[in-house]
Structure 1
Amino acid sequence: MAHAYMMGMAERERRIRRSQLRRSHLRKHSNPWDIPEGEFVANYRLSLPLFQQLVDELAPYLRPKQRSTGISTELKIMAALDFYAGGSYQRRVGKDYNLGLCQTAVHKCVAEVTDALNQSEVLLRHIKFPSSTEERRTILKGFMDVFGFPGVVGCIDGTHIAIIRPHLNEEAFFNRKHYHSLNALIICDVNLNILHVDASYGGACHDSHVWNRSALEAHMQSLNEAGEACWLLGDSGYAQRNWMMTPILRTAPDSPESNYTDNHTSTRNTVERCIGVLKARWRCLLAHRTLHYDPIKAGKIVNACIVLHNMCNNARLDVPALDEYDRRRDGQRQPRQPAYAQDVVASRQALVERLWRDRRRRR
């Protein structure tokens, strides 16, 4: 019996060794440039030229290959991209014939590439709220040209990213749909570029709570106090302010207020479409695809996916179709935010009247 046990252990060791040699051979001969462009985009979401740009940008932040059997920078990034895009845990990625990596190696690749994408230089290069008057005017003009809604410097919303139950402060991440999540604040422009993200708050937090503690809220207030007429568009979960325009609830039909709210809704829908595109590309963020990471690492994955989203968006790459099941499940698992008590603000009334005059002039 002992002999049979020893024979079994020896056979197991031989299988493990053969598997290691096979993966090493695959890594040695893997070349992303041999993959057809269409297949590469389908698996990794980036075009080959954009992938090369990403490799060049992240290489200074990734550990170089130390030996011939090590993992190259290209394979590390491919492993992370496949995980972000697939929405499943690393086991599927580790079986990809283009990678030849075991699950443990893929886990390390995802962590290393995610940290590289979260370097401050990388984040500031790709996620930028307009800092100058000229940059804000460009965004204002974009919204005005497309929707005829003046003064819009961005549209804001929160979206929930499911995570496993955290060990610390568990109650801060347990949301209204009874699962653990991050409530990620997203601000985008008319072209669906994401200008700002904050994925550091738990799913128990109201959208307005996340916004009120953002440094950007104070920045928007200071712009308003300096006399700059620009604002964000938010839903009724946010407080009405001179720098935050929200819809008017329970309006009379065919009134200036209902006209304003219709215009507001169609314009603010930009951020909902933006979030839909983000999650269609990087399906690990779908609310029913739980990230098996602690809140800090999960927040870094959100940031990484948004950097990649903006790169793909600026390169005008096609958005993969999100099937009806994924779209419906994600929508069902997004907690509804209660309406914020609205404040009467004169600037919104002026905007209501302006949009009403514009509508009557077009008739």
Structure 2
Amino acid sequence: MDQQALLAAIGFLDQDLNYPDIANAVIGEFDDNRRDIIRNNGDVPPRNENYFEETVPRYTMDDFYRHFRMQRQTFELLTLALGRQNNPQVHIIPFEKKVLLGIWLLAKPESFLAAGDRFGLAPSSAHAIYSQIVDGVMNLMDDVITWPNMQRATAIANFYKNYNFLLLFHQVFRERSNGMPGVIGAIDGCHIPIKQPEANPIDFYNRKGYNSIILQAVCDHEMKFTNITVGMPGRMHDSRVFRNSPLYRQMMNAAHPLISPENHLIGDSAYPLLGSLLTPFRNNGHLNAATVNYNTKLSKIRCIIERAFGLLKGKFRRLKYLDMSDELLINKTVAVCCILHNFILNNERLNEGELLEEEAAEEVPAEMMPNEREGNERGQHKRNYIVDLLVRV
């Protein structure tokens, strides 16, 4: 179909309509249908034309949540947030339908063919819409994944320190004890399985025996991500991922430090000990009762990041295996899941039933780098001070 002919055919319509967008959408759908017909030897492929229009509106609250991993009210807020990015125009496909399709593809490990069939769309249309929604959610990152400011950092640190008082209000730390001061978040990395990249299969083949990229994240006491780095090859050690991340450069910036001296992150032994990042004592068989107590308390707090990864992967099952070839789209997909993870937690109560058991990471102790010597000394002093402090708690 010729675009100019189509534009002429609708030329009598209201001049405010966006003719090129309408024409391109119609032509695209026409071409998708034509390709499908050719592939199926002239038979029009069957599609579910009324899933969005008739089935979804009849879903109960539980049905909607089970399929789309969020409450209907949260979906409406998300649609509003994404809709503000779009110029007013005529949508051949309703915008709400596009958002639902995008969420569906993140929540379930379905092909674009299967998802497109459910929503009455060609696979190529489903892929184009998915990319559009992913880009839209990416634009929300700076508003949804935020580093705690001074006031927020103090509140988080006080939560960790005064755990018993706040237990009634935060069930995520039930049956865990701490008392460690100054903690504003926990850091760790997790593997996201991908199919073997054609260009560089070796670096992405991890020590666990499959291809992956690494998601490094920091989360707060509510399992909300405050910083993420996505896309490092799966073969990389956690400490190398950390040292190659923007977060590390910000933390090591002496002129404008990201974390105040009285605060710090906590991580496992795969991370370097710094004044702004506390790690456990290595178990060399000679730990005393005080250092064992410190390690135990740190471990009980640090596991919150593992639970955050479990919740992330429990909600967005596409992360179980990303069958994609576009490296940029792979990284965006992981980042978008993290953004939606926070968006949901900002608007709903935690659903612990969705947590997946996160695979235990291999903790290869990090070696100190020359530029970390001063930070390491501050970390040792701070850690020893906290060891003594916890003995008196």
Q: Normalization by structure 2: what TM-score? A: 0.76
User: CA separation in 2, counterparts of 1:157 and 1:90?
Assistant: 32
Structure 1 pair 126–357 and aligned structure 2 pair: CA distance change class (3 A) = closer
2:226 to 161, 186, 195: 195
CA–CA distance in 2 between the matches of 1:157 and 1:112? Answer: 30
Select which of 342, 346, 361 maps to 1:310.
342
Counterpart Cα distance in 1 of 2:258 and 2:344: 36
Could you tell me which runs of 5 or more consecutive residues in structure 1 were left unpaired when the two chains were aligned. 1-7
- Which AA in structure 1 matches 2:248? E
Per-residue deviation, 1:253: 5.7
1:165 aligns to 2:193 (yes or no): no
Describe the superposition over 1:158-209 as per-residue Cα deviations: whole angstroms up to 9, x where unpaired. Answer: 0111112223333332211232211110100011010011103111222111
1:233 and 2:271 matched: no
Q: Which residue of 2 aligns with 1:301?
A: 333
Contact 1:65/1:73 (<8 A) preserved: no
Structure 2: runs of 5 or more not aligned: 1-36, 164-177
Q: Are 2:74 and 1:50 aligned?
A: yes
Asked if 1:258 is matched to 2:292, the reply is: yes
Deviates more, 1:53-62 or 1:297-306: 53-62
Residue type at the aligned position of 1:340 = A
Which residue in the other structure is 1:213 paired with? 244
**Residue number among 134, 151, 159 corresponding to 1:142 in the alignment:** 159
2:261 maps to 1:244: no
Between Structure 1 and Structure 2, the one with more helix by share is: 1
2:130 partner letter = V
Does residue 16 of structure 1 match 2:44?
Answer: yes
- AA partner of residue 141 (structure 1): N
The amino acid of 1:113's aligned partner reads: I
- Give the 3 Å change call, closer, same or farther, for CA 170–335 of structure 1 in structure 2: farther
Secondary structure of 2:44 counterpart? helix
Aligned residue for 1:42, secondary structure, equals: helix
CA 1:63 to 1:86, structure 2 compared with 1: closer, same or farther past 3 Å? farther
> Which of 300, 303, 326 is equivalent to 1:269?
303
Please say if 1:123 is aligned against 2:141.
Answer: yes
Judge conservation of contact 1:117–1:307 (CA < 8 Å) in 2: yes
Post-superposition CA distance 1:17-73 (Å, at most 9, x none): 7x36x62x555x347444221111110011111111111111244587756xx3211
Deviation of 1:349 after TM superposition, in Å, equals: 4.4
CA distance in 1, matches of 2:113, 2:353: 23
Q: Which amino acid aligns with 2:364?
A: P
CA offsets 1:247-285 (integer angstroms, 9 cap, x no match) = 111154652111111111111111111111111111111
CA drift at 1:356: 3.8
Q: After superposition, what is the alpha-carbon deviation per residue over 1:285-325, rounded to whole angstroms, capped at 9, x for unaligned?
A: 12xx23324322111001111111011112234437459xx
Change (3 A) 1:245 1:318: closer
Q: Tell me the matched-pair count.
A: 333
Offset at residue 336 of structure 1 (A): 2.1
Q: Name the % identity.
A: 22
Q: Distance in 1 between matches of 2:334 and 2:158?
A: 29
Per the alignment, residue 5 of structure 1 pairs with none
Q: TM-score, normalised by structure 1?
A: 0.81
C-alpha spacing 1:63/1:321, structure 2 compared with 1 (3 Å): farther
Report the aligned-residue RMSD: 2.9
Aligned AA (1:292): M
Residue type matched to 2:109 in 1?
G
